[in-house]
Amino acid sequence: MKKKNCIPFFAGLKQIVQIMKMTIFLTLIFSFQVYASSYGQSGEINLEMNSTLKEVIESLDKTSGYHFVMKYDEAILDKKVRVKYTNESIKYILDDLLKNTGLSYKIIDRYIAITADNSLQKVVSQQKTVIGKVTDVSGIPLPGVTVVIKGTTAGTITDSEGKYDITKVPGDAVLLYSFIGMKSQEIEVSGRNMINVIMEEETIGIEEVVAVGYGTMKKANITGAIAQYNAESLNERPIQRVDQALVGQMAGVHVKQTSGMPGSGLSIEVRGSGSISANNEPLYVIDGFPLEVSSQNSSGKYDTGNPLDNINPNDIESVQVLKDAAAAAIYGSRASNGVVLITTKKGKVGKSKISFNYYTGWNQAQRHVKMLDSEQWLDRAYDVMNQTYLKAYPNASENDNYDTRVANIGSFDRTMIPDPAWAEDGHPGIDFVDWQDEIFQKGAISNYQVSASGGTDAVKYFISSDYLDQDGYILGVTYKRYSARANVEVKVSNKITAGINIAPSYSVKNDPGVEGKDSQFHIALGMSPIVSTAAGGAEFYNTGDYTTYTWGNSRNSPVAVLKNTIGKTKNFRTLTNIFGDYEIIDGLHVRSSLNLDNTDSRYKYYRPAFVSGSLSSRKASGRYVGYNRQTFVNENTVSFDRTFAEKHNVSAVAGMSYNMTKLDYNRIYATDGFGTDYITTLNDANGISASNTYTTETKNVLISYFGRVNYSYMDRYLLSASIRRDGSSRFGNDTKWGVFPAVSLGWRLSDEAFMKNAEWLSILKARASWGISGNNGLGGDYEHIAMLQSSDYSFGGNQVVGLTSENIANSDLSWEQSETYNFGLDFGVFKNRLYGSIEYYRKSNTDLLLNINVPASTGFDNALTNIGEVFNHGWEFELNSKNFTGNFKWNTSLNLSFNGNKIRHLGPDDAPILGGSFDINHNILKVGEPMYSIYVVKQIGILSAEDISNGAALYGSEEEGDPKYEDYDHSGSISADDRQILGHPNPDYTWGLTNTFKYKGFDLSVFIQGQHGGTLYSTFGRAIDRTGTGWLDNQIQAWAYRWRSADNPGNGLKGNAKSSFGRIKNTDWMYSNDYWRIRNITMGYDLKRLIHSNMISGARIYVTAENWFGNDKYDGGANPEAVNTSGDDYGGIPLAKSMIFGVNFTF
């Protein structure tokens, strides 16, 4: 087989030559369209007018490329003039226009300030003079800022270094600072001589630029559906992960916190889930580097890392989510779940800026799951024991004491004989325990971050380092992260720019086994809330030399297990990109980048013998698991951006990319315990499990060609079209290549002449798009290939190797396809005091990968086939308003998303697919219904004696006091056939609301989010809310209000504590997953108001409370979004609530 080394790193030169050939080729294509059209100080302005001076200047403002800043006497401007200029320079025109008007002008870059004659030059020394410097938020000086004394026409503009001086300023004056694209500011002079001002960008400034795939675009010209996260608040809010910050922030971007463990990846779902068995997570692109898509497994974990792991949120400049196919299709076969574009901070030309951020605080469990407390547990234990006793010995009495019972039974039996100590005063020798209190703690968090940025014309840099140290709110849980970043861009020559972004990081997480089935949180909740002192009490129960309590569980104390178990994950990750950009001619760039994401992960697990097993057999267990993942991407693009005839703007990009991911996995499992409890490494293991110890490797390659053209006419009519052709090694031999096209249109109605009169309307833009994208997250790299499995045989007692196919090869296996229509409306009214957008989309995902049943005559039961179809549609609203803009500022932003989800097609016969682990299946995929609808038996009350005599349908040996279930199939008895669809997991709508307030240096923001209309099915109930639970294990507190007798029927939800009919999955474990939560309250104060030092350019102190208030309906667990066991919640821990104090300094 001939093999070529295709990685340019190693086979470089030849490819570079070829890239250059390509460049020349593309240059030829574009250059014949190019003709000169630009403005300059030297000239060529044509103008012929007969009107007022004001109108002439306005006309120049529109056509010359210069912007006029006018603070002058209006009367003069009404003067009629007749002008005719042919190929004249701006200087000539202004000199001519303003002669004899008493006005003068000053040109600074592209801004022209027109002021009363001589006011720019004159310094009137006898008056109070104020000097200062105006910069933007990153410290870069702003020239051309107008500074006016409020209520007068007197003013000035800043020079090229951003400096200004203004004379004759009364001591109590207010200065007004204004600049195009920036928020105007009013500052009281208060007797100061120097006022430095930092101006912030208008968030909806017309020039705002946003990242799109392979480039940037003016926000005003966007025609697809792109959600933006305002990354500024990443610096103002202490969060540990970027995905955590995105919760509830963007319409259509549903971020689910499926785990309460620090450092764990969240699940992001853009516009509903569109895939049944393939990936549902978006593609992440960091600084143009598309990272390997990884999906959450059914345990809610990212086995081989999440793309956002170890990324320091403070390094992030902006986050954009491409939601519709038109925006995302440029990423082709990986785009159907949306694309998250993350841009990190870059240095800017100007003085170096050093910033230091520090925060510290604590976190604790956001809630306790309400379990029976010790008294309630005892009450239930007596109840169950007495019922058992009286049933077996009908002549006995429930008042019989220990000895009488032993005598009646003939021997001791703990199921019918309570511990006499329970009834004694102070229950001697028995500890009442709240296990959640025992395993929860207050965990400390602190974070230190230092960054420096700056630049000259030649070199721009941003470097940062960060250290995060967090103790979880559960014993034994810790998380530490060390990260650094250097983003450096060098202008090699006028034409060539090159840069390198490198971000090494290292994290250490310890999880002693907290979340999920049979993990310590599950155990803590399920353990009886009493232990005997003799058995070690809560802290040492059944560990070391302590055995179990006669009436106690056989588990080990979760406190001891958590404190002594090692479950350490160490991740060392380095993200690197290097790029070079060559500007061939004005507006035509060739760019090439090499990107490498390398992660080394090591997981060590060790649970010592003394906290394992039972007294007679305590054995340590351990394993060592790791992986190395490398994603290498080479991308080469040619891009072009030009405006022709001042009306036609064309920008285009074309390119190719080579994308390769390799994953090496290894694991070693110990068996038979360890030699001692002192050595935790596997060299001390008594044995190594052969079947669980191995290494594997997989690799996939994606090769793509792509292109996009944007065209706008007068920035009013907008068109964007893109296409991508992807070839993936994951696809079958007959379907290696897919093509993904998209088109979108936009119309800025507010720019039309007929809308000009609507003064209140600032922006109105209508958008429509269509596109096709794909999902190549097929679950594995080789799904289309018939793998061979070992099928050995023996001849004459000697083993021989046999190999046979384990699946049907599918040469047609391909991407899942997603087709999206999107309609959007952007609006801004009252000078953008109120602005927002509305989106409507219809998304149909077809060719979904399903393992469908096939006739066994193929040799197999099932085959992976592209066949299913799911439909999502929804509305999204984003609304921002500036309620108050004066000294007291109040801004509100709201997002609201509705999504409906429906299965349209499954296998060849559309047969429903049942799912859900443990006992019978509890969810269903059925045509016409939402995905994973809850499919269980419905509880309709508690069986009364009358019900039973009336022949109510029973499940098995049900009796009076047991739950009453609906006989849905009218068969006369209850069975799995009585299941019905009773809910769906995806919420109908989600929302987020942020209010920010600013007053005199104080700022306050309150962020609330929530979701409604979804249902969750808690398999955790199987542990803590089970019918027929014995007296031993603990249950949720609802069981305190159970049925006790016909006269004491409880609240009608929980039946008799003693039952023997077993259990069938029914609505008792079903909960609404509605919740609302005040996710974050931050209050800050601008210390600059107190510290007047030239050294410090910014200082803020703040306090943040996360997750302190909220409500949900999930009584059977801790986190309504938890996923940890077979796709459901079976022991998810609560979210953390935290209180954090922080300071930011900028020097």
Residues near other proteins (CB under 8 A):
2-4, 6, 14-15, 18-19, 21-22, 636, 656, 658, 660, 695-701, 703, 705, 727-729, 736, 781-782, 785-805, 808-810, 852-861, 863, 865, 908-909, 911
Q: Is the dihedral of CA 416, 417, 422, 425 positive or negative?
A: positive
Residues with Cβ within 8 Å of 1090's Cβ and at least 6 positions away in sequence, in order, are: none
Nearer to other proteins by Cβ, of 486 and 785: the residue is 785
Instruction: Give least dist CB 809 to other proteins, A.
Output: 6
Nearer to other proteins by Cβ, of 138 and 704: the residue is 704
Q: CA dihedral in degrees (116, 117, 121, 122; nearest 10)?
A: -90
Nearer to other proteins by Cβ, of 114 and 864: the residue is 864
Q: Which helix (H) or strand (E) holds 524?
A: helix 520-526
Q: Are 883 and 870 in contact (CB under 8 A)?
A: no
Residue 615 is which amino acid? L
Instruction: Give least dist CB 926 to other proteins, A.
Output: 16
Separation between Cα atoms, residue 973 and residue 968, nearest integer Å: 9
Pairing of strands 283-286, 339-344: parallel
Nearer to other proteins by Cβ, of 95 and 697: the residue is 697
**Residue 289 DSSP SS3:** strand
Structure tokens at 765: 């833009």
Instruction: Give least dist CB 794 to other proteins, A.
Output: 4
Half-sphere exposure of 1028 (CA within 13 A, CB side): 12
DSSP string for residues in 999-1035 = ETTEEEEEEEEEEES-EEEBTTHHHHS-TT--SSS--
Nearer to other proteins by Cβ, of 417 and 654: the residue is 654
Instruction: Give least dist CB 953 to other proteins, A.
Output: 17
Q: What is the DSSP code (8-state) at residue 1113?
A: -
First-to-final CA distance of the chain: 61
Nearer to other proteins by Cβ, of 645 and 856: the residue is 856
Give the CA radius of gyration of the chain.
Answer: 35
Instruction: Give least dist CB 27 to other proteins, A.
Output: 13
Nearer to other proteins by Cβ, of 823 and 860: the residue is 860
**Residue 520 DSSP SS3:** helix
Instruction: Give least dist CB 737 to other proteins, A.
Output: 9
Nearer to other proteins by Cβ, of 700 and 986: the residue is 700
Nearer to other proteins by Cβ, of 752 and 861: the residue is 861
Nearer to other proteins by Cβ, of 395 and 790: the residue is 790
Judging by beta carbons within 10 Å of its beta carbon (0-12, 13-18, 19+), is residue 108 exposed, middle or buried? middle
Nearer to other proteins by Cβ, of 377 and 731: the residue is 731
Which residue from 511, 489, 321, 205 is spatially nearest to 1133, judged by alpha carbons?
Answer: 511
Separation between Cα atoms, residue 1079 and residue 1072, nearest integer Å: 20
Half-sphere exposure of 321 (CA within 13 A, CB side): 26
Instruction: Give least dist CB 334 to other proteins, A.
Output: 15
Instruction: Give least dist CB 6 to other proteins, A.
Output: 4
Instruction: Give least dist CB 795 to other proteins, A.
Output: 5
> Dihedrals φ, ψ of 1020, to 5°?
-60, -30
Nearer to other proteins by Cβ, of 528 and 659: the residue is 659
Nearer to other proteins by Cβ, of 705 and 840: the residue is 705
Q: Measured at the alpha carbon of residue 280, what is the angle toward residues 914 and 504, in degrees to the nearest 5?
A: 140
Instruction: Give least dist CB 705 to other proteins, A.
Output: 8
Nearer to other proteins by Cβ, of 298 and 804: the residue is 804
Separation between Cα atoms, residue 258 and residue 732, nearest integer Å: 33
Instruction: Give least dist CB 414 to other proteins, A.
Output: 25
> Dihedrals φ, ψ of 525, to 5°?
-70, -35
Number of residues that this document lists for the chain: 1147
Structure tokens at 247: 């919760």
CB atoms within 10 A of CB 345: 20
- How far is C-alpha 738 from the geometric centre of its chain's CA atoms? 28
Nearer to other proteins by Cβ, of 653 and 1040: the residue is 653
Nearer to other proteins by Cβ, of 18 and 493: the residue is 18
Nearer to other proteins by Cβ, of 754 and 795: the residue is 795
CB atoms within 10 A of CB 882: 18
Instruction: Give least dist CB 855 to other proteins, A.
Output: 4
- Identify the residue whose tokens are 């709240």: 434
Query: Rounded to whole angstroms, what are the CA distances from 636 to 22, 736, 799, 1024?
Result: 10, 22, 54, 56
Instruction: Give least dist CB 660 to other proteins, A.
Output: 7
Query: Rounded to whole angstroms, what are the CA distances from 925 to 275, 930, 934, 1074?
Result: 12, 8, 9, 22
Instruction: Give least dist CB 293 to other proteins, A.
Output: 17
Instruction: Give least dist CB 775 to other proteins, A.
Output: 18
Instruction: Give least dist CB 1028 to other proteins, A.
Output: 15
Nearer to other proteins by Cβ, of 732 and 741: the residue is 732
Instruction: Give least dist CB 703 to other proteins, A.
Output: 6
DSSP string for residues in 317-371 = EEEEEE-SHHHHGGGGGG-TT-EEEEEE----SEEEEEEEEEEEEEEEES----B
Structure tokens at 1106: 């996360």
Instruction: Give least dist CB 5 to other proteins, A.
Output: 9
The 3-class secondary structure across 626-653, one letter per residue, is EEEEEEEEEEEEEEEEEEECCCEEEEEE
